[in-house]
């Protein structure tokens, strides 16, 4: 009876859920529209990145699954995206997907709010400040990384350390942005 019930629940969930293909097929896809699809999703920690279809079917995941999927979908919709991994002072980490065109980032913790998109400056330090602030915590490092489902490996491309002088942040040195006051 239990197995039948579970199968029935999975079937119902499958009927309600959407697939990665659905997201990719959406011609009006935008960061806001993307976030609006995840309002009913629940939170659960996994020590690895979930398979996208499992994440969408179970409607269960975490910031890492959400950010990586946003990066995957929006990049293919010609948005300039950036995956940022922020390590908080408590040791926990938080992943977000920054979208340059909207000058903000998608955060799994904001998925249920009307303003699912969090406005932010475009430097990694500003993004990390904002993300850590939403937890009322300090941060220690913020890294930009890339991830492909096919490879299932995170590649850190740039790391900002909070105690380093902001003027020496790699993203500022690259972009030639003026140092923070």
The interface with another protein within residues 32-71 (CB under 8 A) comprises: 47-48
Residue choice 40, 114, 164, 179 for contact with another protein (CB under 8 A): 164
Q: Select the residue interacting with another protein from 64, 118, 123, 143 (CB under 8 A).
A: 143
Beta bridge pairs of residue 85:
95, 143
Which 3-state string (H, E, C) describes 54-94? HHHHHCEECHHHHHHHHHHHHHCCCCCEEEEEEEECCCCEE
Which listed range, 18-26, 112-120, 123-131, 152-160, lies at the site for another protein (CB under 8 A)?
152-160
Please, what is the minimum distance in Å from the beta carbon of residue 115 to another protein? 28
Residue in 11, 25, 156, 167 binding another protein, rule: CB under 8 A: 156
The tokens 């020496």 sit on which residue? 168
Q: Shortest Cβ distance from residue 154 to another protein (Å)?
A: 6
Task: Pick the closer one to another protein by CB: 63 or 87.
Answer: 87
Q: Tell me whether residue 161 or residue 177 sits nearer to another protein (CB atom).
A: 161
Residues that bind another protein (CB under 8 A): 47-48, 87, 89, 91, 138, 140-141, 143, 152-154, 156, 159-164
């Amino acid at each position: 009876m239990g197995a039948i019930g579970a199968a029935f629940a999975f079937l119902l969930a499958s009927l309600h859920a959407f697939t990665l293909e659905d997201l990719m097929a959406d011609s009006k896809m935008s960061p806001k529209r993307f976030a609006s699809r995840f309002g009913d999703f629940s939170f659960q920690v996994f020590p690895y990145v979930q398979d996208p279809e499992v994440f969408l079917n179970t409607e269960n995941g975490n910031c890492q699954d959400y950010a990586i999927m946003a990066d995957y979908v929006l990049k293919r919709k010609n948005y300039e995206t950036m995956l940022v991994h922020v390590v908080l002072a408590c040791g926990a980490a938080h992943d977000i997907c920054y979208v340059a065109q909207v000058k903000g980032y998608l955060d799994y913790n904001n998925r249920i709010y009307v303003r699912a998109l969090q406005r932010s400056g475009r430097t990694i330090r500003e993004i990390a400040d904002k993300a850590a602030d939403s937890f009322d915590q300090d941060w220690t490092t913020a890294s930009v990384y890339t991830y492909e489902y096919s490879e299932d490996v995170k590649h850190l491309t740039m790391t900002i350390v909070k105690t380093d002088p902001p003027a020496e942040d790699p993203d500022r040195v690259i972009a030639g942005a003026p140092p923070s006051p």
